[in-house]
Structure 1
Amino acid sequence: MWPVRPEFVPDPALSRDEMETLQHDIAAAANFSDDSEDDSQRPTPEEAPIVAGVDQAFDDETATSALVIMQSGEVIERVHATEPTEIPYIPGLLSFREGGAILSAFKELETEPDVVLVDGSGRIHFREAGLATHIGVTLDIPTVGVAKSLLCGQPRRSLSEPLPEGTRVAIEADGDVTAPEGTVIGHAVQTRQYNSDSRYINPLYVSPGHQVSAETAADIVESQSSEYKLPEPTRLADSYAGELTRR
């Protein structure tokens, strides 16, 4: 798979202001709903969707992006790519550090997924253009952001206490987000929880990247979860990326 919108390919040589301007343009081009210009490519209800999980691992000054493609619970393809990380981690600008390796890995794919689960934020982002949105718009493919921490936005209710398994709490835009205040930009999704008073599992922060709504993004993550906190495609991508860097 190659970029459909090459003008959005992340360029780490841009200045910070130029990166943020590009993110505004990406957010304007993103579709945070379930409507697509070409629904003919969507799987029918009888077909199991092909789901890609994306995760990264780092070694010195390189990023290795791993893609694991699954259908009906089975791995059907794995690919990876390694690229230099030319800038340090900057909150809100993750895609300019990691996006190059991810797009290089997509170029190795033979299978076109129906949806991509990205280890990172989608619309839960200051400018509504997190890593999942940046990749989704650039490739013009449905994407979902699956983050382990909340970058911005306001939960509709407190998350200070452990959530029961199966709970989802809407994350709304606040003054830190360019979306109108109160817009649901994602959900805290509790995929798994311990049956214990002494330990607990934090929720995932799930948001639409491109061509999916906030509700559908949460539905997809829940449907791809098994006995672990992470959805299986991203869990296996995380394991694969770690395996590659250890080599």
Structure 2
Amino acid sequence: MSQPRPDLAPDADLSRAEMESLQREIADAAVFEDDVSFDPTTLSNPLEATASGGEPPVVVGIDQSFLTNDEGEQDRALSAVVATCGGEVIERVSAITPLEIPYVPGFLSFREGAPILAALAKLSVDPDLLLFDGSGRIHFRQAGIATHIGVVRDVPSVGVAKSLLCGTPVEDTDELPAGTKIAIESNARVDAPDGTLLGYAVQTRQYDSPNRYINPLYVSPGHRVGPETAADIVLALASSYKLPEPVRLADRYADDAKPGLGG
């Protein structure tokens, strides 16, 4: 898998100011509009793509787990990449690299980007879409991990986060029915004019109970995908679980690959 913008790859040796500057450059290079090679509406029905004479897109889920040393300290990141097509797994790869910096909100790609890029380089298939367990445009400088890696690889990408990093929902996001989408707009914490549409709170699943509730996912475009399409993609791919299936499979693979590696 090619890397058209290696000059923008995350570098853990940069100072905080340099990281912020690079993120702003990433955001400037990102395309937060639809530029995909497939019809997103076919994701919920792969047979539709085949019936229309096309091939289902290759959708890649990406997640991370961490390995510990003999002292019980996390010292390595394991990036798990699962490629799917038509709802079937067609390839799984992983890569492990040292953890060079601690976790700091807003700088996830500098901590976890190296193993992700290493794992993506092992893929024998060309992804049509990358789905990340992390943010895209919903980020202080509009350059979360989905945006950063999406721009470096120049592949359509979407960020799927479990918590809201920044921005403001335009409506209450508590106890939403399944299928609901609530816009997330920029606020003073984001390097964008107030009111800029960053993404959506997306309620993929909900309990059929008055006493138990599932929180929404926070979905945002990474690169070459618009916010509405990003939300629709996640809804289409989250058929039986809260997470979209490629990300859920990557999460499971990240755990499966750990035994014997210090996890």
Which TM-score bucket, shorter chain as reference? Answer: over 0.9
Q: What is the deviation of 1:246?
A: 2.8
Q: Distance in 1 between matches of 2:151 and 2:197?
A: 20
Distance 1:84 1:2, change over 3 A: farther
Question: Which of 40, 58, 66 lines up with 1:58 in the alignment?
Answer: 66
Question: What's the CA shift string for 1:166-225, capped at 9, x where partnerless?
Answer: 001000011111121111100000000001111111000000000000000011111111
In structure 1, the residue matched to 2:147 is: 133
2:165 is equivalent to residue 147 of structure 1: no
2:57 to 49, 52, 55: 49
Look up the match of 2:182. 169
Partner of residue 27, structure 1: 27
Corresponding letter in the other structure for 2:195: G
Aligned equivalents of 1:100 and 1:72: distance in 2? Answer: 28
Tell me how many residue pairs correspond in the alignment. 241
1:246 aligned to 2:254?
Answer: no
C-alpha displacement of 1:158: 1.5
Q: Does residue 1:16 correspond to 2:28, yes or no?
A: no
* Residues 131, 145 of structure 1: 8 Å contact kept: yes
Paired letter, 1:23: Q
Q: Could you tell me how far apart the structure 1 residues matched to 2:140 and 2:235 are? A: 25
Task: Tell me the SS of whatever aligns to 1:69.
Answer: strand
Distance across 1 between alignment mates of 2:121 and 2:178: 37
TM-score, length of structure 1 as denominator length:
0.95
Q: Does 1:101 align with 2:109?
A: no
1:220 counterpart residue number: 233
Residues 124 and 185, structure 1, Cα contact 8 Å, conserved in 2: yes
Task: Give the CA RMSD over aligned residues.
Answer: 1.0
Task: Give the whole-Å Cα distance in 2 for the aligned partners of 1:28 and 1:54.
Answer: 24
What TM-score does the superposition give when structure 2 sets the normalisation length? 0.90
Task: For residues 84-135 of structure 1, give each alpha carbon's deviation from its aligned partner in whole angstroms, at most 9, with x where no partner exists.
Answer: 1100000000000000000000110000111000010000000000000000
Residue segments in structure 1 that go unaligned for 5+ positions in a row: none
Specify the alignment match of 1:230 in structure 2: 243
Name the SS for the 1:107 alignment partner: helix
- Give the corresponding residue for 1:82: 96
> Aligned partners of 1:49, 1:223: CA distance in 2, in Å?
13
**Secondary structure of 1:76's partner?**
strand
Tell me, yes or no, if the aligned pair for 1:92 and 1:130 is still in contact at 8 Å: yes
Q: Structure 1 residue 118 and structure 2 residue 132: aligned?
A: yes
Alignment partners' CA distance in 1, 2:228 and 2:259: 37
1:56, 1:66 within 8 Å by CA — same for their partners in 2? yes
Shift of residue 75 of structure 1? 0.3
